């Protein structure tokens, strides 16, 4: 091999490595500590690069690390009680289903109720903004932990380590009729009743007019760092810079 050819190959390798480094600034390590299988779903926000996967399987104790493009925004959630129909091949989940009919969500979002981990990376001031939200209801505990963050921001872990399904108010419960009416998810009051005062819509579409309800307080009292309703920003949005993130389902092991 000639010296010029070797130099060209070296250049290509260095260019490729630099491209990878510049394109992927963060990793998400998604971990399942539940005693049951979880099928993570991922939805990328409009105008940001898609990830290498939009859905996969995590058995108890398994994890999956994903490279995240710079300036990515989107959400991650867990689907539970999933199965594939033997006759049609359709894949579906009792909670968090993204209606794609496959394990990959392929642009589909989580059907409420579902606990959401939400991210905007490299946002205002170069900060990552992240939260765990019950605005679309709750189906399993999630914790988000920044790793190695630097610069401005508080880099605080957030989320909910409590299983709220058993204590969910009766009128908000989603039950699995195939397993003795077990409560498997908890709707938001907006999803359950469609009332503007719970949905922060119509005359209630401002922080001044939309206030916490007894239902949002149920979530907030159990998990004070998570979003309990649409205008719960003050205690529920966190920032960090140049961090990687661990997203854990059932951070304190739970049974179903």
Residue 227 DSSP one-character state: B
Q: What is the mean pLDDT of residues 158-166?
A: 94
Helix then strand then coil, in percent of the chain rounded to 5, is 20, 30, 45
CATH, residue 234: 2.60.110.10
List of residues 6+ apart from 89 with CB closer than 8 A? 101
On whether residue 14 sits in a domain, the answer given is no
On whether residue 197 sits in a domain, the answer given is yes
Angle at CA 96, nearest 5°, toward 245 and 200? Answer: 90
**Is-cis flag, bond preceding 232, omega within 30?**
no
Give me the domain span that covers residue 94.
25-249
On whether residue 48 sits in a domain, the answer given is yes
pLDDT by residue (tens digit) across 72-102? Answer: 999 999 999 999 999 999 999 999 999 999 9
- Where residue 234 falls among pLDDT bands split at 50, 70, 90? confident
Question: Is the four-CA dihedral 194, 196, 198, 199 of positive or negative sign?
Answer: positive
Between CA 162 and CA 147 the distance in angstroms is: 22
Q: What is the mean pLDDT of residues 12-35?
A: 64
- Where residue 180 falls among pLDDT bands split at 50, 70, 90? low
On whether residue 4 sits in a domain, the answer given is no
On whether residue 113 sits in a domain, the answer given is yes
pLDDT at 12: 37
pLDDT by residue (tens digit) across 95-118? Answer: 999 999 999 999 999 999 999 999
Mean residue pLDDT of the chain comes to 88
Q: Which residues of 180-196 are buried (b: 16+ CB within 10 A; e: fewer)?
A: eeebbbbbbbbbbbeee
pLDDT at 13: 34
Q: What is this structure's pTM?
A: 0.87
pLDDT at 3: 46
On whether residue 208 sits in a domain, the answer given is yes
- Where residue 45 falls among pLDDT bands split at 50, 70, 90? very high
- CB contact at 8 A, 77 and 110: yes
- Where residue 70 falls among pLDDT bands split at 50, 70, 90? confident
pLDDT for residue 195 is more than 80: yes
List of residues 6+ apart from 57 with CB closer than 8 A? 37, 39, 103
pLDDT by residue (tens digit) across 125-145? Answer: 899 999 999 999 999 999 999
pLDDT for residue 52 is more than 70: yes
Q: Structurally, how many domains does the chain consist of?
A: 1
Between CA 254 and CA 256 the distance in angstroms is: 7
């Amino acid at each position: 091999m000639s010296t010029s050819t070797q130099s060209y190959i070296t250049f290509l390798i260095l260019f490729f490595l630099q491209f990878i480094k510049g394109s992927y600034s963060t990793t998400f390590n998604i971990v399942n500590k539940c005693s049951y299988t979880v099928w993570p779903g991922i939805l990328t926000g409009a105008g940001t690069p898609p990830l290498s996967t939009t859905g996969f399987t995590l058995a108890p104790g398994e994890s999956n690390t994903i490279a995240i493009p710079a300036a990515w925004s989107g959400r991650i959630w867990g689907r539970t009680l999933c199965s594939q129909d033997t006759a049609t091949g359709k894949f579906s989940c009792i909670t968090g289903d993204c209606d794609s009919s496959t394990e990959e969500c392929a642009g589909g979002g989580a059907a409420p109720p579902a606990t959401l981990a939400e991210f905007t990376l490299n946002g205002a001031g170069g900060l990552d903004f992240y939260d765990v939200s019950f605005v679309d209801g709750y189906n399993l505990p999630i914790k988000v932990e920044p790793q190695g963050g630097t610069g401005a921001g508080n880099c605080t872990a957030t989320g909910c380590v409590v299983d709220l399904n058993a204590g969910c108010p009766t009128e908000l419960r989603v039950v699995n009729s195939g397993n003795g009416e077990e409560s498997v998810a908890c709707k938001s009051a907006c999803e359950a009743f469609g009332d503007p005062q719970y949905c922060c819509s119509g005359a209630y579409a401002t922080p001044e007019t939309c206030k916490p309800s007894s239902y949002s307080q149920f979530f907030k009292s159990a998990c004070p760092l998570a979003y309990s309703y649409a205008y719960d920003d003050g205690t529920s949005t966190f920032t960090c810079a140049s961090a990687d993130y661990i997203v854990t389902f059932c951070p304190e092991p739970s049974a179903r």
